Amino acid sequence: MKVEVVAIGTELLLGQINDTNSSWIGEQLALAGLDTHFQTKVGDNEARIVEVLKLALSRSDAVICCGGLGPTHDDLTRHGIAAVMGVEQVRDEAIVARITELFASRGRYMAANNLQQADVPVGARTIAQQPGTAPGLICPVGDKVIYAVPGVPSEMKVMVSGTIIGDLQERSGVRAAILSRVLRTWGQSESGLAEMLTGVITELDAQASRGVAAPTIAFLASGIEGIKVRVTAKASTEAEARAMLAAQEQQLRAILGDLVFGVDDETMESVVLDMCREAGLTLALAESVTGGLIASRLSSHDGASEVFRGAVVAYDSAVKYDVLGVPVGPLVTEAAVAAMALGARRALGADVGLATSGVAGPSELEDIAPGTVCLGVAIGDDVVTATVRLPGDRARVSQFAAISASDLLRRTLLDRRR
């Protein structure tokens, strides 16, 4: 069964609200073994809503509409669905009573237009869960179906989990599990990763063409979060899907090696914190080109204080000289960043110092190309440094420098284990 998601609301098109609902619904459909090939956004216009719904029904077996069920003049989802069904709407008195009760229980005045939320297309039925004033709808269209849920995430999730997923599985008659695992990498380009995995991808495609169940592989460049390699497996049971993912992950790790720094929700910073914690090491930062970005990301993790002692944001040259003890001279060099890392470690009483210095954009340093960044790690008095050339504007250079610095620390700690 193919399911399509249609998010309704002009605010989505204007970028005033991020469409996180469609992403969440897509994830739930995948976990339930239901395929979704299209997700669409449309504004608050009845003619365009009707057009989008007809298109969705032409290529999918079921459509989940999200949003546009409120009480105001621009909440047009009900009207659009009724037009597609070719029916009128009738007021459901049980829903009227429910809405009235909700307002009374909250001690709030109920405007008369709230009652239009009780209008239901003839032949449709309401979803049992109704945490807010807007009821969800199940609307048959021939042998297909349109579901409508509110755009309020908490209300939508209750209806999708409580009714829609089960209804779709019953209609499909097939229970399956689709699971994904994301390997997070850093140190190789997206095209480079694809080249490294060409043989694996070719073999998986060949298996699929023979009708053999095989995982799929996709790549997603995600800035400061690294380049993600997503593996997706579909099987009749969750256990079988997990076994496929485990086997595929093992094969990919054998090829990619240390390029893989984490899995799923792990970040470079969470991995580095865990490695320092396991080694009994504390960490201090000296940030110049990254401007405190690494410190911000480290401190956002629970338990960071067990490892992370603090940071010196040494953006001005005088801070590097006076606070960190860097010798007077050029500052975008590996020698300077080594001194910064040692200075941060000493100044903040940490076992490890991590430092960044570089040029994020055009500056007075005409002899140094923008995007040139020096990185340094000091563990005790042992120092490791590197110089990288990073693409993009100031923000991207800063972000890439942050993950590159943390990755240098990760690799240094890995080498100490071996």
| CATH number of the CATH domain containing 287 | 3.90.950.20
Residue corresponding to tokens 């597609």:
84
- One domain, residues 52 and 164: yes
Q: Which of these three, 198, 231, 263, is where a domain ends?
A: 263
394-404 confidence digits (pLDDT tens): 999 999 999 99
d(CA 69, CA 114): 10
Which SS3 state, helix, strand or coil, does residue 108 take?
coil
Say what the pLDDT of residue 213 is.
83
Q: Which domain holds residue 194?
A: 177-263
DSSP character string of 51-75: HHHHHHHHH-SEEEEES--SSSTT-
**pLDDT-based confidence at 365, cuts 50/70/90?**
low
User: CA–CA separation, 254 vs 57, rounded Å?
Assistant: 44
Give residues with Cβ within 8 angstroms of 170, minimum separation 6: none
Assess whether pLDDT exceeds 80 at residue 209.
Answer: yes
pLDDT, residue 192, reads 94
| pLDDT confidence of residue 212 | 84
15 shares its domain with 144: yes
Burial class (CB in 10 A: 0-12, 13-18, 19+), 174: exposed
**Could you tell me if 28 and 162 lie in one domain?**
yes
Domain termination residue (choose one: 208, 229, 263): 263
Read off the tokens for 208: 């699929």
CA angle 332, 344, 322 (to 5 degrees): 70
The answer to whether the beta carbons of residues 21 and 151 sit under 8 Å apart is yes
- The string of pLDDT tens digits covering residues 119-137 is 999 999 999 999 988 999 9
Closest by CA to 99, choosing from 157, 164, 49, 150, is 150
C-beta separation of 57 from 40 below 8 A: no
Tokens representing 199 are 């043989």
Q: How far is Cα of residue 242 from the mean position of the Cα atoms in its chain?
A: 21
Q: Helix, strand, or coil here: 153?
A: helix
Number of independent structural domains in the chain: 3
Per-residue pLDDT band for 369 (boundaries 50, 70, 90) equals confident
| Average pLDDT, integer, range 101-130 | 90
- pTM, two decimals, is 0.73
Query: In this predicted structure, what is the pLDDT of residue 106?
Result: 82
Looking at the structure, tell me whether residues 193 and 272 fall in a common domain: no
Cα–Cα distance for residue pair 182/245, rounded to 1 Å: 10
pLDDT digits (tens, 9 = 90+) for 305-324: 999 999 999 999 999 999 99
Exposure of 227 by Cβ count < 10 A (0-12 exposed, 13-18 middle, 19+ buried)?
Answer: buried
Query: Among the three residues 241, 263, 285, which one is the final residue of a domain in this structure?
Result: 263
Q: Are residues 233 and 369 in the same domain?
A: no
**Spatial contact of 65 and 8, defined as CB atoms under 8 Å apart:** yes
Calpha distance 315→318 (Å, rounded) = 9
Same domain flag for 188 and 106: no
pLDDT tens per residue, range 282-299: 999 999 999 999 999 999
Q: What's the one-letter identity of residue 217?
A: I
- Using alpha carbons only, how large is the chain's radius of gyration in Å? 27
Whether residue 356 sits in one domain with residue 232: no
The first and second tokens of residue 21, run together, are 């609902």
Query: What is the C-alpha to C-alpha distance for residues 229 and 165, in angstroms, rounded to an integer?
Result: 28
**92 and 69 share one domain:** yes
3-state secondary structure of 395: helix
Q: Of the candidates 58, 280, 24, 272, which has an alpha carbon nearest to the alpha carbon of residue 165?
A: 24
Q: Do 7 and 143 lie in a common domain?
A: yes
- In this structure, are 231 and 274 located in the same domain? no
pLDDT at 364 over 60: no
Return the CATH number at 100: 3.40.980.10
Q: Do residues 295 and 243 share a domain?
A: no
Asked if residue 234 lies in contact with residue 241, where contact means CB atoms within 8 angstroms, the answer is yes
Which segments of 51-190 are extended strands (E)? 62-66, 89-91, 119-121, 125-126, 137-141, 144-149, 177-185
